[in-house]
Amino acid sequence: MSYSQKITLEWHGPFTFRTLLTDLSCLDQFSKPGVYLWVERKENRLYYVGRSLDNLVKRHREHNAKFVGGLYNIPPEYRSNGVEWVPDLRRPEVLSTLFSVDKHIDLVKDAHAYRDNIDVYLSVKELSDKILIKSVERNLIYDLQPAGTEPGKHSLPTQRLNIAHRSAAWIEAVSGDLKQSIEYA
């Protein structure tokens, strides 16, 4: 395997959604392009890898709206009824929940509980080039295999990057073999 480029990601976090979206210093520092990771705090599990080509804070506002709008999965352990929420509009229980104020309010409470269990880690350094941001995200998905990100986990990225991680508190927050496969800067 040959790598086309070496890149070091400087990580910041953990942040809760609330802190990231309301703290003025976060708004100043992270209203720019970059990549991010979500770690489920209670499960010590890397759940998601994502990117924003323009503004990481804005992207997390969108994620927040989708959580409370019922558009994201919610694991059963965060549901008041103990049943995983899967927002598939072909399922009758989804439509009945989204069009019932009482059921939807319960879902919003569950979404808040789940969202509040997520720690967000951000990297913006060296990531002003949009093509590079996409490539970094794709390599992170392939290398880290996040539980909640499916596309890109099973095929090699077109441009293979040698990614090193600096100030990566998320590495200590996750359990399993992932820690052994990470290059530290």
What are the tokens at 31?
Answer: 């209203």
The neighbour count for residue 149, using CB atoms within 10 Å, is 19
Q: Is the pTM of this model over 0.85?
A: yes
pLDDT for 1 beyond 60 = no
CB 176 within 8 A of CB 144: no
- Tell me what pLDDT residue 180 has: 60
pLDDT tens digits, one per residue of 26-73: 999 999 999 999 999 998 999 999 999 999 999 999 999 999 999 999
Residue 149 — pLDDT band, cuts 50, 70, 90? Answer: confident
| SS3 (DSSP) at 38 | strand
CA dist 103 and 81 (Å) reads 11
Residue keyed to tokens 């990117």:
51
Domain positions in the chain = 5-55+118-181, 65-115
- Tell me what pLDDT residue 175 has: 72
Q: What is the mean pLDDT of residues 102-131?
A: 91
CA dist 30 and 155 (Å) reads 30
| SS3 (DSSP) at 177 | helix
- Tell me what pLDDT residue 127 has: 60
Q: What is the mean pLDDT of the chain?
A: 90
Query: Pairing state of beta strands 12-15 and 5-10?
Result: unpaired
pLDDT tens digits, one per residue of 7-33: 999 999 999 999 999 999 999 999 999
More confident residue, 140 or 179: 140
- Tell me what pLDDT residue 173 has: 81
